[in-house]
Amino acid sequence: MDPVTEIPADAPAARARHAALVQEIEEHRSRYYGDDAPTISDAEYDALERELRAIEARYPELVEPDSPTLTVGSAGVATGFASVKHRERMMSLDNAFSLEDVELWLARVGREAGDHEVVCEPKIDGLSISLTYENGVLTQGLTRGDGTQGEDVTANVRTIRTIPERLAGDSIPALVEIRGEVFMPVKQFEALNEALRADGKAPYANPRNTAAGSLRQKDPGVTGQRPLDLTTYALGALEWGDTEPDARLERQAGIYDVLADWGLPVTEHARVLRGAEAIDGFLRELEAKRHSLVHEIDGAVLKVNDRSVQRQLGSTSRAPRWAIAYKFPPEEVHTTLEDIRVDVGRTGRVTPYGVMTPVTVAGSTVAYATLHNAHEVARKGVLIGDTVVLRKAGDVIPEIVGPVVAARTGAEREWTMPAECPSCGTLLAEQKEGDKDLRCPNSQFCPAQITDRIAFIGSRGALDVEVLGEKAAAALVESGVLANEAALFDLTEDDLRRVPMLTYEVDEKLTKKQIEAGVEGRKAGDVAENGRKLLANLADARTRPLWRVIVSLSIRHVGPTASRALATAFVSMDAIRAADEVALADVDGVGPVIARSVIEWFTVDWHVDIVERWAAAGVRMEDERDESTPQTLAGLTIVATGSLEGFTRDGVKEAIISRGGKASGSVSKNTDFVVVGENAGSKATKAEELGLRILSEAEFVALLEGGPEAV
């Protein structure tokens, strides 16, 4: 039950809320199972069902035989397909929403069945299917429906290439119901949506609904054109006839082996584990790599391995007691797109972003999400006022996936990209013909660009000036103290007295003890502590290495990697300014596009003025060439992932680059070593899949000191 769920304290109120919940849940089930066009997210649906369970637990007299807590799917949904009874019921699964819930389930089944092995596998976000084979020949395909009866989609099932018409092998039963999940691979789903957008059609919301809708097409030819796939994982009715039963089926894991022998696709990610610690580890590992799988998953399924124990544990009216579905925290929710506005960045790029009704997703509250450019707004097909699908995968920036078209009321409206810069009024333009991005060309005087460039200088990836964030940068520009970034390192206390944010608003109150000690309090208008700290931070920033100074200039295309490469190759700002395009482009990690951008940047007088003013103020413009550092990593490409005890993120890169190596941010077959620390994610998984050499932190230190031979 959600902590925020409030159960009505009296029976009449509980009865009213119960009735409302039942009606709402059934409506959502109808949209989900019948129309394949739900208007709320899975997480929102789960919350409704948990609330209903909580009310029924307190007021059991409200429970009816057809309550959503006791039934599966949606009964009586008219879909146009014949309804056929399953030989053996297709049950649902109870849900666990935390590792603690999983441990409680393990304890519960353990009390009745003792210690046991558990099969753990990904929970594919698709459409459940039951395939009937008689004497090895496919005779019927049914959706789950309400668990008792499903829709006959046999003709459509036959168009899915991974579903065999005839089972392979010799040990074939007279009749078997095979349960599985039909899904649409993520990459194929994205390609399908691109084709729809190219035709001016609304994109699909997610792979699950698209797979379900594709399987329910009235014309099997349409289904056959959709890239559907299948994974199988269970058996229903089973009659061996004259064939000797396969003993492997007495273990859940053995079912997968038998299904594979019959020529049916099974997951390659299933594991047989014992104990809460091992299972917790699997769930964390699966969640870390969920976005690298071919299909979408929304959790994991845990099943007792011993099928005799399964029979002993039995089932409730809707779900087996020997299995449970662990749901990952939702990364995808529904919310309202209240408005689309634009932001002007430090390079003049004008970026639309969505303003949404705040919603919690992946553990944080989100109210804004980038829409990249006007082409992307059109590609996604979103309208102001839409219910939209919002996704935030782990630490990834929140993304508006697309609209929930079924939820539209007609009150939604289209958005138009502004023609003028919202900050300075300058006409927006493409930097070069065919650009998807529009930019404000007034880079010298546009307040938004100046503010963003100054704030960027303060960021950790640039000069790391602690007090110089967005608010301080805006205050310095709005007060007229800074016309641009050129005078940043010339700031004095007198300058800061003109910035209200950095001064005392009222006289500082002193204690009696301070007054007696002769302490002089600050008066209104004096520079405040944060102002003095800003000046101290700027003094420290003057000594940062050259590559950080290059990053801070906001030269288009020149990020940390190119800045490091330029600083390493040329050592001084003067040498970079004097280099021609060929010499710049010849630097590994630079290339012709970045080289042209650097050349063009230094042709602008006010750009050159920034560099010269900074140099005059004592900002470091030259690195000392350290010939003493051995080039132990020359020619090697190294990726570091996770947290290392002895290195910061930047420290790892410095250590690699200073020894002649390339510090890459992505794993590929060209990667020589992958350094794995605590809480490593998908990069570590990909390294394992590619068979790359993985190093611990201790081995990484040895590599730095002695090169490849040392490890």
Strands (E), 443-508: none
Tokens matching residue 262: 């019959």
Determine contact, residues 304/109, Cβ cutoff 8 Å.
yes
- Spatial CA neighbour of 674 closest among 656, 658, 696: 696
Q: Which of 85, 123, 380, 662 is catalytic?
A: 123
DSSP state string for 659-704: TT-EEESS--TT--EEEE-BT--HHHHHHHHHT-EEE-HHHHHHHH
- Spatial CA neighbour of 594 closest among 607, 604, 609, 583: 583
Tokens matching residue 462: 């640039």
Tokens matching residue 674: 């992958």
- Spatial CA neighbour of 344 closest among 462, 441, 409: 441
Helices H, strands E: what count in the chain?
Answer: 25, 20
- Spatial CA neighbour of 656 closest among 639, 681, 677, 679: 639
User: Cα–chain-centroid distance for residue 131?
Assistant: 34
Rounded to 10 deg, the angle between the 42-58 and 11-29 helix axes is: 150
Determine contact, residues 683/690, Cβ cutoff 8 Å.
no
- Rounded Cα distance between 615 and 302, Å, is 63
Residue type present at position 485: E
123 is catalytic: yes
Determine contact, residues 180/121, Cβ cutoff 8 Å.
no
- Spatial CA neighbour of 329 closest among 126, 47, 632: 47
User: Cα–chain-centroid distance for residue 279?
Assistant: 23
Phi, psi of 654 (to 5 degrees): -60, -45
Three-state DSSP at 603 gives coil
Phi, psi of 24 (to 5 degrees): -65, -45
3-state SS of 528-574 is CHHHHHHHHHHHHHCCCCHHHHHHHCCCCCCCHHHHHHHHHHHCEHH
Strands (E), 59-174: 83-85, 95-96, 118-124, 127-134, 137-143, 149-151
Number of C-beta neighbours around residue 511 at 10 A: 10
Residues with a known catalytic role = 123
